[in-house]
């Protein structure tokens, strides 16, 4: 998964934000990419 994890700073325990990012994306820093169009539009009013 190379997409941005989104806003996870509002979790009950903000100390685990970086741990979640590593679980989703891995430890190595990688270039992020855009997601599919339907994911980018998710939650938008039409």
Which pTM value belongs to this model? 0.37
Q: Given this model, what pLDDT does residue 8 score?
A: 66
Round the average pLDDT of the chain to a whole number and report it: 73
When divided into structural domains, the chain yields a total of 1
Q: Given this model, what pLDDT does residue 38 score?
A: 74
Q: Given this model, what pLDDT does residue 10 score?
A: 67
DSSP secondary structure of 10-34: TSS-GGGHHHHHHHHH-SS------
pLDDT-derived band at 2 (thresholds 50, 70, 90) equals low
Which residues constitute the domain of residue 16? Answer: 1-46
Instruction: Using alpha carbons, select from 11, 1, 6 the residue that is nearest to residue 40.
Output: 6
pLDDT of 19-43, one tens digit each? 887 887 777 766 767 777 777 777 7
């Amino acid at each position: 998964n190379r997409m941005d994890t989104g806003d996870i700073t509002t979790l009950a325990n903000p100390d685990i934000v970086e741990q979640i990012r590593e679980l989703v994306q891995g430890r190595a820093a990688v270039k992020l990419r855009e997601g599919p169009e339907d994911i980018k539009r998710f939650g938008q009013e039409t």
